[in-house]
Chains A and B, each alone.
Chain A
């Protein structure tokens, strides 16, 4: 399991190659890449700043990957999340999961990103023509979490 919080960009091909390099038993790799959109809630977004809680962020991501490993028969998982200033089209997050068969990897990958969006301490601040604003949490993110029978919000 690998967790990285970094300002630098990442290369999907290279990360996936490294993840399965020593694992001939892998038959499926599922990846999710989140990117910066140039429009959010009706305003154009020129730039974004991602803040996080150093220390807690890594623990929270580790915890979710461990939960995914306990719940699904997967071999390995990788989470990379960028912080600092980002521009539209930039990559923000990568989740990659390996397993013997696709079903487990698809579910575990979706679970990890759903959990991350509501439980890992990251916050986005957007620069718009109307000024800077903190992005509001989405109700749909909590709804996405509900399908995994996970309590959202404070506590777990």
Chain B
């Protein structure tokens, strides 16, 4: 299954990437699974996406949580708490 990844603000800078398409294995079924799968890359990925970090997630451009299921072609985004206004 292919997933579109988006990264913003401090998360984008720390990872050095703003977007990519990633093929995830069959056991990756939720947004939380995607996050855990990316942590397996190690280094800054393990650090930036660690559990307990104040990280926000969106699926198909809606704020969401780790339990949300992902589908083929879905868009998963990771970013820090928002600071607009």
A residues neighboring B (CB under 8 Å): 34, 50-53, 55-56, 59-60, 81, 92-93, 113, 116-125, 134-138, 153-156
B83 lies within 8 A of A136 (CB): yes
From A56, A81, A123, B80 is in contact (CB under 8 Å) with A123
Digit string of B48-80 for contact with A (CB within 8 Å is 1, else 0)?
000000101110011111000000000001011
Chain B nearest CB: distance from A79 CB in Å?
10
Interface centre among A50, A121, A122, A135 (most CB of B within 10 A): A121
From A81, A118, A134, A154, B10 is in contact (CB under 8 Å) with A134
Interface size class of B (residues with CB under 8 A): 20 to 34
Complex CA–CA separation, A53 to B9 (angstroms):
10
B-side contacts of A113, CB under 8 Å: 85
Say yes or no for B43: interface residue by CB 8 A criterion: no
A134 lies within 8 A of B80 (CB): yes
Chain A nearest CB: distance from B28 CB in Å?
19
A156 lies within 8 A of B84 (CB): no
Smallest CB gap from B66: residue in A: A154
Name 19 extra pairs, CB < 8 A, besides A118-B81, A121-B79, A136-B83.
A53-B8, A53-B79, A60-B63, A117-B83, A117-B84, A120-B82, A120-B85, A121-B8, A122-B83, A123-B8, A125-B9, A134-B9, A134-B80, A134-B83, A135-B83, A153-B81, A154-B56, A154-B64, A155-B64
